[in-house]
Each structure stands twice: as C-alpha cells, then as structure tokens.
Amino acid sequence: MSSSACRIVVLISGRGSNMQTIVNTVRDRGLPATISAVIANKPDAGGLEWARQRGVPTAVVPHRDYDSREAFDAALADAIEQYQPHYVLLAGFMRVLTPAFVERFNGRLINIHPSLLPAFPGLHTHQQALAMGVQWHGCTVHFVTPVLDHGPIVAQGVVPVLADDTPEDLAARVLQVEHRIYADVTGWLAEGRVTLDAMQRVQVAGVSSRSFVLTPDGVTSSERSS
C-alpha cells in the first residue's frame, strides 16, 4: 500500500469521541491519509454532526431497517466499499459483526476494546474488572477476527484501578488512554508501518514496544524505536 493513498472509514454508534481523535490526528499531524467517511448504524449518532461540521463525508446504515444481522452487515459492507478503504476503524461501533463481514475486510478491520484483552471480552468491561479485583485495567487496539474481541494486538494502554473506583470512574480513566492509543495507531496505519508476521503477530516498523500508561501527569508512551 502506498502510504500517500491511505483511505480510512470510521464506524460509530454514538458521539464518537475516538472517531474525533482519529479525524483530528490525521489533520493535526499531517498524516498521509484521508478520512473517507464516518458511517453510523444509528441516525441520531452524535458523532455524525461533528464529522459533517468538519467536512467529513457521513452515511447512515440503520441496523433496525434489516431483519437479520447478515442483511445489515451486507448493506454496511456495501456502503463501506464505496469508499475503497485501506482500513476500517471501529470507534464505539456497538454491533457484533458477522464472520462474512469480517472476512470481507480481513486484515483491514481494526477495533478498540475497553479492556486488556484477552481479559474481559464483551460488554461491561469496567464492572468486570472491579468485580474481579484487578489492579490494572485498560484498552486494546486489535485486528478484528470472527471471534469476538479477539485478534492480533496492535497496542495496549494501561491504567491503575483505585480502591474507591466506580465503573464510571474507571471508564473515564480508560478513555484518556483510548484517545492517545488510537491516535498513535492511526499514525502507524497511515504511514504503512503495521504488518502481521507469519505467526499473526503485529509488527510496527521502527517500534519495539507499543504500550501506553496513564500516570498522574497524563498518558505516557513506552514506545521505543526498534
């Protein structure tokens, strides 16, 4: 892939704070990429208006208009393909995708999940973390596979779990790391630096460590040049 031709489609279901991070990152860093479209499965998704105001094309494929997951996913895939993306980034897209959809975008589909996968897949990750008494929690950017919340890990962000945390407290802390981690991963993808090796492990050219930690001074990166 030529890095100058990198086209990205972002999928959202709500306000799209991670989508906003992706859009701003491409523009603020002058990355060799274009946000070709923001697509939502809900007409009232708040992130749509934010994207429109910044000149990003938007589209809606309402999942309630389809009588099956398969039919919705087929329509969504057709809408995405109009933009011929190199990558499709899920940013708070609250739908479980069918294997056929995942296969159609194999190697191009990226998600951010609010836990340190493989721990706590699925929903209510912050409640799960507090219930298990873990001392560290976080988020994971990964390639999407047909297995829910499973796939080659691109990067992870870590936050401490405090004794008096509520799920809302923990979610807010994790979100700080999500924004930083998705920004950097967007840069790596745009620059054509991300590949999968023979063992289906992610490699990022020039980077040997891809972890981010929330400290009292903000999010720090342990990214090191390889």
List, by residue number, the catalytic residues. 113
Instruction: Sort strands 109-113 and 87-90 into parallel, antiparallel or unpaired.
Output: parallel
CA–CA gap between residue 220 and residue 216 (Å, rounded): 10
**C-beta neighbour count of 199 within 10 angstroms:** 6
Taking a C-beta distance cutoff of 8 angstroms, is the pair 187, 32 a contact?
Answer: no
Token digits of residue 197: 């090796």
Token digits of residue 147: 């297995």
Looking at the chain, list the stretches that DSSP marks H as alpha helix, in order from N- to C-terminal side.
17-28, 46-53, 69-81, 99-104, 125-132, 167-190
